Structure 1
């Protein structure tokens, strides 16, 4: 009779939990269905490259191992739970059959593996708690939700060990090396009778089952939904180059709007990102905006959009996201802004110093006012301020986005999801315009989330539908439209930089129609006085190496990168089509440029609009080849200690890290040293995403922070392969008032080839 009742209770409880799990997942699927459909190419999904990337990220945990300590911790928990699933089934069988077990070969070894795995998971959970509450890493959230998961997992592990220990007492099993932990615990509990051990066994057996089922129901209603959505998200990730944005069909007569002005304007794949987020904060931890006290936090971008989608989905489908719904009757996702808190929090962004409280905070403000006495006191109270700090941004996000009580929905300031605006109430314009599009967030994300495309879609709506853009940005776009460059300088002055090459002549495509390489100079290289030196150096080196090249001269137009990243898709497509027509007119087959932004745009985005059979290379790639082939001889020593800054659009967008470094290693006299944040994890200079043409408001200047990171390794020269980066770093060095030079790779090679730069 007892066994029958046990079975009935087990089936009812388990069935109910599975039903709640299904409803929670299905309702979120309905919310995702509100998004725009997106097409996937089956062939690219089944390719070996896609499979290998999928396996390395999901089962190899490659992204998580960027932080090797937390990566190992997560691997232990990930594979530990896979192993323990067999143990959970075995334990359920034991409870339902009064001591039976799965008919597995080598059952004793199986039992040993279970106990060792439980111990490893407990150690991993202990380390997870230490990182969150001992080290207090700023990127990791604190509170009852993270603690609940740690408690649930620890409880599952402890109930496994106690159940196995009580089973040994119940059946009077001798201690065994194949069950070391349960044997030790059973020895400590040996005073229990066999009948008492049976009662306690079933007590912990049921506790183990209930905690497992609670965790099952909790998974889709928390960040742990990533256990299901992350593998799907990684499988459906973009297979095209990361530097290619999704284009807009501007001729679609049925389109009511462009960009993302409502949550349902995002695609279903973009919405899947929302539910795949694990809230680990790795993206925010590397974001240049978050690092310098700007409002934008990539993690909060995703979670706020997720919260908002959940509320909008609930209202539009009538399906509650919470299961069982009666247990969450008072819960409400925070889909509204707390304006008063936001206004006070925005003030935190007005200083490059992180917000503090009490005596320390008051002194920080005195320090910013130049008080020498406060500086001396502060040096005793706390260590020097770090170069970057994400805490002001996290504090701001916490102040403006929190969980509210549904029963209080009639209070002032609260609104239903339908009454809220995606841009303004959920995402502020300050956040949207803080993004440098550097993709460091995407590179760090272990679940394949793509942040930049969402920011660009929000910008597109602001620019194309609302005409809303910071004044400096609007001026730059107007100048590009009228004169083909952000300054608004006459188109007829684009070729003037060549007049400064004494004794040398740079041919145009009209002068040299049989050219091999088109040297696309770009707006920076043509007009900016500092960047023109890079153009002259590179042209001089190509002439020395005997490269058959030509430039477009005054016929050259802007590449369109700036308009596209700033949301003006119309202007980008116009420039794109005009440039392609120009390239076709002059039969261009190879393009070389010193501008990584133009390089990325031509290489990854123009092919979609008709640029075919054209090889696009960066000037560092060509210089490396010329040096290896002996066409450029590095005779002269350049006695400098150089640290190289990786351009985002050259590195993370296109994977070019080694070519510039190989050049520097070949230059005699150079000592190459790396910054802490280099290569894939290099911090942005602050010029990307159109921010080159806009003023930074609030927080610390990004270029200053990056310059300070470079200065940590005591260089005498900072090297770069991007005119935008070079300008930002040079400005940073000037702000620090230090005697450290900044040079482009071409300028450094020129020093070694000719012995001195061209004045």
Structure 2
């Protein structure tokens, strides 16, 4: 390691990968934009908005679909949007939560150099961890000059402007799981619900009082006691709504909730808000079905999720 740090041994692999490859999974930087190889999107070029994809949506097969749907929606609305490609690095959230402050500082400084070189002023993130870290924790590195939005905030704004349709009559019964860094910490509660046309049944704990999926604080890369798994507790709460779909706004929540639902035997589909909105557009125009629903890479040992 660059410097002796105190964090659980089970995080050594993830931290080592972030240190060497700037993502917890260990993929090379040249693979970071593979998910967008067939899309007409700016890569490493100046744009009015930069979509900060995040590590999960860059490399995880299931979450690549979210990235593709998000880009599809932003382009459908006519936004000048680009991605950083191999110039994007981990935001540093896992490193800071695990106590590796030195690694976090290096990642923040490197990302800020990239932002400055490309003249980045507005960033859209679909990962609430990136949304929080870039928007709230990059201030000491010049990030106070950035405008950082969660993708649900931008999508809701575009709906208000008539550039994207409202979701209505999609035949689903939907509940929403509030990601911690989006709702309780970020205060973004109404926008995700607006994007998906409202929630049919709320969980008992929702909004500011919502319950964690279990991935925060770098727990995504740690093992929990099988009898105390937070995602299983949350999955039970979600299944008790009787809905057939769980809407999420975070790649880690997507993975953890899906695994929790499998553990409790609940037949519910987990979808990001961007996917639900894109589904509405595709349903209206069959000719655009569906160049964006095409994941290109799977994490080692991962299985397709619902």
State if a TM-score over 0.5 links the two structures: yes
Secondary structure of 2:188's aligned partner: coil
Where in structure 1 are there 5+ consecutive unaligned residues?
1-462
Cα distance 1:635–1:728, how it changes in 2: closer, same or farther (>3 A)?
closer
Residue-by-residue CA offset, 1:262-305 (whole Å, 9 max, x unaligned): xxxxxxxxxxxxxxxxxxxxxxxxxxxxxxxxxxxxxxxxxxxx
Cα distance 1:751–1:581, how it changes in 2: closer, same or farther (>3 A)?
same
User: Quick one: which of 470, 494, 498 aligns to 2:32?
Assistant: 494
Secondary structure of 2:123's aligned partner: strand
Question: Matches of 1:569 and 1:740 in 2, distance apart?
Answer: 38
Give the structure 2 partner of residue 426 of structure 1.
none
Question: Matches of 1:533 and 1:663 in 2, distance apart?
Answer: 17
1:634 Cα deviation from its structure 2 partner: 4.0
Question: Matches of 2:62 and 2:272 in 1, distance apart?
Answer: 10
Alignment of 1:619-634 (within 5 A): 619-634=151-166
Instruction: Say if 2:141 is the partner of 1:609.
Output: yes
Give the structure 2 partner of residue 528 of structure 1.
60
Where in structure 2 are there 5+ consecutive unaligned residues?
284-288, 295-306
Q: How many residues end up aligned between the 2 structures? A: 286
Instruction: Say if 2:265 is the partner of 1:737.
Output: yes
Give the structure 2 partner of residue 505 of structure 1.
40
Question: Matches of 1:712 and 1:698 in 2, distance apart?
Answer: 21
User: Quick one: which of 675, 689, 694 aligns to 2:217?
Assistant: 689
Question: Matches of 2:167 and 2:111 in 1, distance apart?
Answer: 39
1:509 Cα deviation from its structure 2 partner: 2.8
Give the structure 2 partner of residue 482 of structure 1.
20
User: Quick one: which of 274, 298, 301 aligns to 1:746?
Assistant: 274
Larger relative helix fraction: 1
Runs (4 or more) in structure 1 with deviation over 6 Å come to: none
Residue-by-residue CA offset, 1:425-445 (whole Å, 9 max, x unaligned): xxxxxxxxxxxxxxxxxxxxx
Give the structure 2 partner of residue 583 of structure 1.
115
Contact 2:168 2:197 in 1 (8 A): no
Residue-by-residue CA offset, 1:649-675 (whole Å, 9 max, x unaligned): 011111110101112226xxxx52100
Question: Matches of 2:81 and 2:94 in 1, distance apart?
Answer: 26
TM-score w.r.t. length of structure 1: 0.37
Which of structures 1 and 2 has the bigger CA Rg?
1
1:733 Cα deviation from its structure 2 partner: 1.7
1:469 Cα deviation from its structure 2 partner: 3.0
Alignment of 1:527-606 (within 5 A): 527-606=59-138
Question: Matches of 1:635 and 1:665 in 2, distance apart?
Answer: 5
Give the structure 2 partner of residue 519 of structure 1.
51
Give the structure 2 partner of residue 304 of structure 1.
none
Contact 1:518 1:591 in 2 (8 A): yes
1:564 Cα deviation from its structure 2 partner: 0.2
Residue-by-residue CA offset, 1:688-725 (whole Å, 9 max, x unaligned): 00000111135321111101100111110001111110
Question: Matches of 2:113 and 2:268 in 1, distance apart?
Answer: 43
Contact 2:51 2:125 in 1 (8 A): yes
Larger relative strand fraction: 2
Alignment of 1:260-275 (within 5 A): none
User: Quick one: which of 223, 237, 244 aligns to 1:716?
Assistant: 244
Cα distance 1:539–1:738, how it changes in 2: closer, same or farther (>3 A)?
same
Question: Matches of 1:583 and 1:532 in 2, distance apart?
Answer: 23
Give the structure 2 partner of residue 699 of structure 1.
227
Residue-by-residue CA offset, 1:447-466 (whole Å, 9 max, x unaligned): xxxxxxxxxxxxxxxx965x
1:473 Cα deviation from its structure 2 partner: 0.7
Give the structure 2 partner of residue 469 of structure 1.
7
Give the structure 1 partner of residue 178 of structure 2.
646
Cα distance 1:636–1:660, how it changes in 2: closer, same or farther (>3 A)?
closer
Cα distance 1:568–1:635, how it changes in 2: closer, same or farther (>3 A)?
closer
Computed over aligned residues only, the root mean square deviation of the Cα atoms, in angstroms, reads 1.8
